[in-house]
Chain A
Amino acid sequence: MDTFEPVIVAFCCHYCAYTAADMAGTMRYSYPPNVYIIRVPCSGKVDALHIMKAFQKGADGVYVAGCLEGDCHFKTGNIKAAHMVAYLKGLLDEIGIGAERLEMFTMSAGMGERFARIATDFTERIRKLGPNPAKAGSDKTDKVAVG
């Protein structure tokens, strides 16, 4: 592989971030195709397990995107999500995957531009970090197994 194309999973809340992503589309703000959006009703619905499994299955980066603070359709979901993300970052550091591969962002439904910018910046960040070390390790195993 000459250039590394990261795979990024973005868990987006229905009311703000997912709408902002649609808005980016409406306004044709381009961002790298590396970002895959999974819709959830609220960022507070994102389970720490979903994020860990995403990394385990091979994601190079994951982010959770919710409403701006105070704007959560479900009052406090985005705050809970932010706490969960902060906790998981610690765990990712512990196993050597790296906290910087995970992030929490907030935006309002109207912020298509912000959505695109975050997608772009985050993709760049992960590109610099290189592939998910777990995936890189298992690629090695595959080769060993095959070879």
Chain B
Amino acid sequence: METYEDKYNNRALVIGGGIGGIKAALDLAEGGKNVVLIDKAPSIGGLMTQLDRTFPTNNCDLCTLSPHLAESGRELHIDLLTLTELVDADSEGGKFKVTLKTSPRFIDLSRCTACGDCFKNFPECVRFTPGLDHRAPTCMRYPQSTPYAYSIDMAKCKDVDALGKVCPANAIIPDDKEKLLELEFGSIILAPGAELVDPRPLEVYGYGVLPNIVTGLEYERILSASGPTLGELIRPSDKKQPKKIAWIQCVGSRSVKEGCVSYCSSACCMYALKEAIVTKERFQNDIETAIFYMDMRTSGKDYELYLQRAKEEYGIRLVRSRPESVEREPGTDNLSITYTITENTLPVRENFDMVILSNGFRISDDLIGLAEKLGVELNEHRFAKTGAFEPVATSKHGIYVCGLFEAPKDIPETMVQASAAACMAMEDLQSEGASKKPEEEFPPERDVSKEEPRIGVFVCDCGYNIAGLINTSEMVDYAGKLPQVAVSEGVGYGCSRESLEHIQQVIQEEKLNRVVIGGCSPRTHETLFQDTIRKAGLNKYLVEIANIRDQDTWVHLDRASEASDKAKDLIRMAVTSVALSHPLKEHVLPMNKDILVVGGGVAGMTAALKLADGGFKVYLVEKSGELGGIARTIRKTLEGEDVQHFMKDLIERTTNHKNIQVLTKSMIVDHTGMPGLFTTGLQVGPRMFYRQIKHGVTILATGALANRPREYLLDEHEAVMTQLDLDGFLEDHKDKVKAWKKVVMIQCVGSRCPENPNCSRICCQSAIKNALRLLDINPEIQIYVLYRDMRTYGFQEDFYREARKRGVLFFRYEPDDSPKVSGRNERVEVIFKDPILNREITVTTDCLALSTGLVADEEDTEDLAMIFHLPRTSDGFFLEDHVKLRPVDLPVPGFFIAGTAHSPKTIRESIAQGQAAAGRAQTLLARDTINLGATVARVDSEKCAACLICVRACPFDVPFINADGYSEIDPAKCHGCGICAAECPAKAIQLMQYEDDQIMAKLDGLFERIA
């Protein structure tokens, strides 16, 4: 067994390199902890990298995900081990001794440049992933893969010598061996994801037998620009564009049949809607789309609006029916779906060109083995078992879970859990003392301001990638003759360690003060070369990369001489531009490590406690007189856990914690500063004393309001109450409940309506919870639930099934034909329509429970939004920085959000987000200083006309006209887009690193040849 040099004895292991694992690893690393991230696959990225676009923004994933991946690849604290799995684990005294097995890649990662020569010459030897990838143009799972390297399937390789010779970087290791590593960890995060239910055994759908039936993921690959069809929508059988497509929901989910899972897979309704919308966006009236569904479960933040858009704006047909079968239309490659709708007793047959199966998630068999090795208990559905109020803690202390392995969910929830898991793991690692890798020491920066430019040009040949098409020594000679160039050299692979050291040496020996690299893309390699020149004593902004590979030799393969001329042009442009570059200072400020938590509900207290336990000072500000928020009035969870017991403990711990100062009856009144240096003004206590708090981070956990619309006799008739009222009533008045004969529940009261278009997410499960508890007290009660869609996502589906089994009756109503309610002495009469029998039913009920859900506290959020400069959604919830990838971060740096101030959610979900906010906060708090970067806009006050154009043009509201009468741009807040610089009519603004004279110099450099 190989021994692994254990440089840093205290770290976390993250298993699974999907988006959740990456996020957890990044958060830990940013928090100063060391992480080993392992994935079975040759590159990280998981499921998300295979999607075309993501809901609800319909953005392209690669654009938003790839920076995260690249970050993950280069982060100082992360060791990334691909093709690696856990084979053995042993725990002792809070430590885990783990054996990892790394399968051979047969490629040296430090040498592979991803040129693709191996794939071109020996496509059969290079690894593919399943699915539609057999037609993929590249064997990397997606084009911006991390690590950026290929992998070889040696078993399929017949001529190993020839394969080795084809690699210009000499990166192929024919005798690469399986490696076993034994490592110790303080904590483990499980993020292994889930697999998709295989639709093959579900014979009614004909997947794998009939043509033109694909799964949702396969359809994503077809739509994807980097997919096998390059984004062209064509159906597999005849490569023609389909004109009519159907989606079938709940394939393999919500069913107790063989081969199915009984829970709801939570993400499929949204992904089917997304796929249909994207399809419609592209083909408009040229294509028909229909979705067959049982309940449309669009219960996430703003998802209901997405559903409305799908129906109204895009004309996507929604058919409430679980199809009975899919068959081939005789003599064609088309398909016919047989289904029944409630309005019609006879089955309908309808033809489609293509059918997409929205298959759900399931836990793969190998995860059972993993759980066993780690001693982690699984639930009945084989997902990791977690605590009722510990959403990411497994049954084993020190092991946490996030993402699909915890329960089926979508990306934002996975991101929340990942940050929560990182927060939990950080706590375990904390006690172990300092765990930072030694920061690299840089020599002092040389002052080059008085020197004439002495430019060094280093041209990479990148093996055949550049030198295969053009003569790099010709480039070197050419560059050497350019003005101000002192040194010009060829460096082979410029990014190899030897070359980097050589460049560093030449800079020092030749007293160079500017550097040009002729090589690959600055997008991937700029930081590397910046680091190199910094090590040589130069400011890192004195380097420019001429992209003569990705944007020259790779794209002009058939025109060697033009490519050669162009390479010279690109190098010349870089030289003229770098001559004008000057040292830039990254803005650094000391960090205030205190935290302000606004809101003392479950989420706020959870976040405060996590941070206080981590040794940080927390100010917890609560508007009302007491901690607890809405949860103080909730008795039981759907799973039957005692909420009050939990709350009592939570409030006690919060109040008594030495690091937490609780300020009740307090209101935020003003706020200034920047992350690490905030000052917030409060009015405290009954006498409204004004005081200021200085803090580095702000967590918003202001909660939401229990909705109480004046509908259905609520607050007019004694028998009418909300689900929240009923939750307490049935505990306090068991005797009364025992006398009840009938209870009616109406769903979506005050939600999914014009006044409040969104879904409140929690009401379906509240109704089921209360129905089951009523039956526990009095099994004779007949309960009627009047609903629009039952949205019992994830494992809540089990309780929905149980409720049906125990005799609860469910009737669907349409919003334009809602139930009629009138008082009948102590009781209430409810008239509603049974859609199946198509006739009216009248029930006189002892109790009418209204599922009223949560709404944003408009007044509160409006004030806070104004004070903190935060955006809100149309319904008054705070809007996060990125709805998909940054659900805990607010757009103002240094602000995080948790709980129902973000959107309606369950207690468990609020706890997870509270932990996540604490985790995200710690990524900032780990630093002693704040580096604000150098690419910021700078105003020349002499030129500024105070015209306000920059103030109005800035997408982030950063510039303002200061007391001296000119525009001021706070470098701490500037995002560096340069829009103000472009729009300034007085040319008073320059964006550092992209100054006008540098851009003009590039143009000058380009046209010198022509002139």
Direct contact of A and B (CB under 8 A): yes
User: CA of A37 to CA of B569 in the docked complex: distance in angstroms?
Assistant: 11
Residues of B within 8 A of A73 (CB): 63, 977
Chain A residue total in the interface (Cβ 8 A):
59
Chain A residues, Cβ within 8 Å of B554: 24-26, 28
A80 to B565, CA, bound (A): 34
A7-B1007, A37-B551 are contacts. A113–B979 as well, Cβ < 8 Å? no
Instruction: Give chain A nearest CB distance to B511 CB in angstroms.
Output: 28
Task: Tell me, in angstroms, the Cα distance from A131 to B177 when the chains sit together.
Answer: 59
Complex contact A70–B57 (CB within 8 A): yes
Select which of B62, B979, B987 is within 8 A of A80 by beta carbon: B979
Q: In residues 25-62 of chain A, which contact B (Cβ within 8 Å)?
A: 25-33, 36-42, 44-50, 53-54, 57-59
- Could you tell me if A33 and B563 are in contact, using CB atoms closer than 8 angstroms? yes
| Stretch from B4-12, B605-613, B993-1001 at the A interface | B993-1001
A105 shortest CB reach to chain B, Å: 14
CB within 8 Å: A-B pair count: 178
Complex Cα–Cα for A15 and B63 (A): 7
Determine if A130 is an interface residue (Cβ-Cβ < 8 Å).
no
A18 within 8 A of B: yes
Q: B559 at interface (Cβ–Cβ under 8 A)?
A: yes
Task: Determine if A104 is an interface residue (Cβ-Cβ < 8 Å).
Answer: no
Quick check: is B226 within 8 A (CB to CB) of the other chain? yes
A30 touches B979 (CB 8 A): no
Min CB gap A46→B, angstroms:
6
**Distance in Å from the Cβ of A120 to the closest Cβ of chain B?**
10
Q: Are B555 and A110 in contact (CB under 8 A)?
A: no
Asked whether, in the complex, the Cβ of A33 is within 8 Å of the Cβ of B566, the reply is yes
Q: Shortest distance in angstroms between B787's beta carbon and chain A's nearest beta carbon?
A: 34
Do A25 and B999 touch across chains, with their CB atoms under 8 A apart?
Answer: no
Contact of A41 among B550, B935, B1006 (CB under 8 A): B935
C-alpha spacing A47/B937, complex, angstroms: 14
B138 is an interface residue with CB less than 8 A from chain A: yes
Tell me the B96-148 residues at the A interface (CB within 8 Å): 114, 116, 137-138, 143-144
User: CA A125 – CA B803 in complex, angstroms?
Assistant: 67
**A126: Cβ under 8 A from any B Cβ:** no
The answer to whether B1000 touches A45, judged by C-beta atoms less than 8 angstroms apart, is no
A77 to B983, CA, bound (A): 11
B955 touches A9 (CB 8 A): no
Point out the residues of chain A lying under 8 angstroms from B137, CB to CB.
27
State whether A113 touches B230 (Cβ < 8 A): yes
Beta-carbon contact of B523 and A18 below 8 Å: yes
- Give B230's nearest chain A residue, CB to CB: A113
Q: If the complex has contacts A49-B996, A74-B977, are A109 and B991 also in contact, measured as CB distance less than 8 A?
A: no
- Is B695 in the interface zone, CB < 8 Å from A? no
- Minimum CB–CB distance from A29 to chain B (whole Å) comes to 7
Judged by a CB distance under 8 angstroms, whether B256 is at the interface is no
Choose among B116, B226, B522, B982 the residue that contacts A39 (Cβ–Cβ < 8 A): B522
Q: Do B225 and A114 touch across chains, with their CB atoms under 8 A apart? A: yes
Q: Residues 1-37 of chain A: 1 if any B CB is under 8 Å from the residue's CB, otherwise 0?
A: 0000001010000111011011111111111110011
Residues of B within 8 A of A47 (CB): 981-982, 996, 999
Q: In the complex, what residues of B have CB within 8 A of residue A29's CB?
A: 555
In the complex, what residues of A have CB within 8 A of residue B1004's CB?
57
Determine if A23 and B226 form an interchain contact, defined as CB atoms under 8 angstroms apart: yes
Q: With A9-B1006, A45-B979, A113-B230 in contact, is A21–B551 under 8 Å at CB?
A: yes
The yes or no answer to B837 lying at the interface (CB within 8 A) is no
B557 within 8 A of A: yes
How far apart sit A33 and B470, CA to CA, in the bound complex (Å)?
A: 13
CB distance from A112 to the nearest CB of B (A): 7
Say yes or no: A110-B225 contact (C-beta < 8 A), given A36-B573, A50-B1003: yes
Proximity string of chain B (350-363) to chain A, C-beta cutoff 8 Å, 1 when within and 0 when not? 00000000000000
Taking the closest CB of chain B, its distance from the CB of A84, in whole angstroms, is: 7
B558 contacts the other chain (CB 8 A): yes
Chain A residues whose CB sits within 8 angstroms of the CB of B63 once the complex forms: 15-16, 19, 67, 71, 73, 108-110
A53:B1003 contact, CB within 8 angstroms: yes
Judge whether B953 is part of the interface by a CB distance below 8 angstroms. Answer: yes
Check A30 against B558 for contact (C-beta < 8 Å): yes
Residue from the list B224, B556, B978, B999 in contact with A38, Cβ < 8 A: B999
Nearest CB in chain A to that of B63: its residue: A109
Interface residues of B in 554-579 (CB under 8 A from A): 554-559, 562-563, 565-566, 569-570, 573
Q: Does B231 contact A (CB under 8 A)?
A: yes
Contact A26–B977 (Cβ < 8 Å): no
Check if A21 sits within 8 Å of B955, measured CB to CB.
no
A91 to B474, CA, bound (A): 41
Is B1002 interfacial (CB-CB < 8 Å)?
Answer: yes
- B950-989 CB mask vs A (1 if < 8 Å, else 0) is 0001011000000000000000000111110111000100
Do B979 and A58 have beta carbons less than 8 Å apart?
A: no
Asked whether B549 is an interface residue with its Cβ less than 8 Å from the other chain, the reply is yes
Tell which of B63, B522, B977, B994 has the most Cβ of chain A within 10 Å. Answer: B977
Query: A57 CA to B231 CA in the complex, in Å?
Result: 38
User: A22-B551, A45-B978 known; A109 and B559 CB under 8 Å?
Assistant: no
Q: Mark A54-92, 1 if CB is under 8 A from B, else 0.
A: 100111000000011011011111001000100000000
Tell me whether B155 is interfacial, beta carbon within 8 Å.
Answer: no
Given A33-B562, A45-B979, A71-B60, A80:B550 Cβ within 8 A? no
Against B, the Cβ 8 Å flags (1 = close, 0 = not) of A102-134 are 000000111111101000000000000000000
- The answer to the question of B184 belonging to the interface, with a C-beta cut-off of 8 Å to chain A, is no
Give 17 new A-B contacts, CB below 8 A, not counting A58-B1010, A110-B62: A24-B550, A25-B521, A26-B554, A30-B558, A38-B1003, A39-B522, A40-B999, A47-B981, A57-B1011, A59-B1007, A70-B57, A74-B975, A75-B955, A77-B955, A109-B63, A112-B226, A113-B225
Residues of A bordering B, CB below 8 Å:
7, 9, 14-16, 18-19, 21-33, 36-42, 44-50, 53-54, 57-59, 67-68, 70-71, 73-77, 80, 84, 108-114, 116, 135
Sample of 19 A–B contacts (CB below 8 Å): A19-B63, A19-B144, A24-B555, A25-B551, A25-B555, A26-B116, A30-B557, A33-B552, A33-B566, A41-B976, A44-B977, A49-B987, A50-B999, A57-B1007, A58-B1010, A59-B1007, A77-B979, A80-B979, A113-B231
